[in-house]
Amino acid sequence: MTEQHKFDFCPWMYWGQATDEDRSAQEAHLAEVRDRIGLDAAGKVFISPLAAVYTDRLRMGDFCYIAAHAYVTDDVFMGRDCTVNPYAVVRGKVELGDAVRIGAHTSLLGFNHGTAPDRQVFRQPITSQGIRIGDDVWIGSNVVVLDGVTIGDHAVIGAGSVVTKDVPVWAMVAGNPARPLRDRRTPRSTAGEARPAHDEVLPTEDGVLSTVGGPRAGAGGDLEARLAEFAGRAREQAGQVLARCWTGERYVDRPGAEPTVRAWADAVEIADLLLGGPPPTPAREEIIAFLRDRQDPITGLVPEIGAPGSPEAADGGRPELEGISAYHILSVGYALDLLGTRFQHPIRAVSDLAPKDLIAMLDGLDWARGAWTSGSVVDAFGTGLYRNIADFGLSGENLETLYGWLLTRVRPTHGMWGEPDSKSGWLMVVNGFYRLTRGTFAQFGLPLPYPELAVDTVLTQARDPRYFGPDTGNACNVLDVIHPLWLLGRQTRHRRAEGEAWAREHLERALGGWQAEAGLSFALTVGSGATRTPGLQGTEMWLAIIWLLADYLGISDTLGYRPRGVHRPEPALHYPG
């Protein structure tokens, strides 16, 4: 795929990565489509110029797209957040609710030919009962849905299926003809229960094949039921959780706390996970304006409210690439992604640093005593590089410098950066490893060096009772173990059973932490104080941690949500490429 056609084949990237030139070209194409077919579209839609769109009527809600080589005709109505992926066919009378995902090479055929014996088939009259698809429906690749079918809300259609009959709400179906596998709210079969005689195909995130009935099935049992109950309760109470932290003017982490920029970003992440869109209050445009206007145009960094460089500050100072200003590259940048937009300015604090100065900066970090802080700087720098490359088309030269430094400084004795100390043990090294790898290796889809050694180091930290005893633990420490285990698990199964036992223990503990209409606190332990009071940061982090723990165990689909922001499991940008 050439850069020219990136959005045609990967249109989900358009709202976060399109340049002004890209947006102008798309607006011109949409104007042509409107003139030709009478398109009724919301403000934010994408139609690839490579798609064949010849409808009588086409209505598209916000954040809908039609990708390259899709074939769309007749009467098509799309709600909000609907996707027609490459080479899909949508013809006849077809009505989609909100959040309908249609995999590549799938055909929705809302018409039929007669079959009477008095004439050739192509001369038969055409009838059209239409296809109706509810909200939150996932249709895998190479599916065929025939005329007259209604697919209920929250259904999942397995890749390669042929759907000839109505599909109930919450049903997961697959096969030819498609038949029910289970209710999406019900756990997969446990070891002692009947399973299909052969593997059934279900869509994965990118619409390709996955299996039910293989080794992942039965991984959870009662734990899966608890996951489903937790996610349902969280979705039902998400509105109250957000409203509790809205002052009427600003978001705060918890009632009584000072307003922060991160609280706004956390609210966006929580709403996207649990509500499938922006927070109910305030309007999306107001949230976007608040977050984008915080950016310092000189450095590209986002300072805290009232800090130097912020709109409230009168001292004319500038934020620096450290602390919360560095973390805002992640939290604010990904929140803007989820809202369908991007920063106004490049991250100049990253792009203006010459390679030799980048090496000097990295060498100057205190890796011996502060591996976590050092790793967080690398995380922010890597994310700034991603923003500059993806959103503004700037050079990736410093990315190669950064990787060169990391690969020549990693410790071949334990697979990480920095060294343990007598006071905190491996805490700073492992926590720094999470931050560093999240913003570099994970974010750019590159393999880690020494994966088996790194697993050994993570599991050593995971057994430290100072951080993971019955009366200890917080979101950072659990995240800083499970993300590395999850990420390294893509390269090696070294000591997998130990990792899964740890993940199961901490998942069961985390599921008991939800407090009614308030969410989750940063610390696992019960008590008073800021870290033990439910808030937006604790809720946002634990929702992602619970997904990672569950996904490491192979049961994350039970949750019905998948992180798309700071903790997204997919690389944000494959490099090189």
Collapsing DSSP to helix, strand or coil, 439 comes out as helix
Residue 504: phi and psi, rounded to 5, are -60, -45
Residue 202, pLDDT > 50, answer: no
Residues 90-136 have pLDDT tens digits of 999 999 999 999 999 999 999 988 777 778 888 888 888 999 999 99
183 forms beta bridges with 171
Structural domain spans, the chain = 3-212, 222-559
The pLDDT tens digits of the residues spanning 41-80 come to: 988 899 999 999 999 999 999 999 999 999 999 999 999 9
Alpha carbons 93 and 127: distance in angstroms, whole number: 10
Instruction: Determine the pLDDT at residue 192.
Output: 35
What mean pLDDT is predicted for residues 6-23? 88
Fold of 222-559: Glycosyltransferase (1.50.10)
Active site residue ranges: 113
Nearest to 536 by CA among 241, 283, 334: 241
Instruction: Pull the structure tokens for residue 325.
Output: 């200003």
- Residue among 216, 159, 141, 152 nearest 556 (CA): 216
Q: Are 245 and 536 in contact (CB under 8 A)?
A: yes
Which phi and psi angles does 510 have, rounded to 5°? -65, -35
Q: One fold for both 3-212 and 222-559?
A: no
Distance CA 178, CA 168 (A): 12
385: Cβ contacts below 8 Å, ≥ 6 apart: 347, 350, 396, 398, 399, 402
According to CATH, the topology of domain 3-212 is: UDP N-Acetylglucosamine Acyltransferase; domain 1 (2.160.10)
Decide: pTM greater than 0.85.
Answer: no
Give pLDDT, residue 301: 97
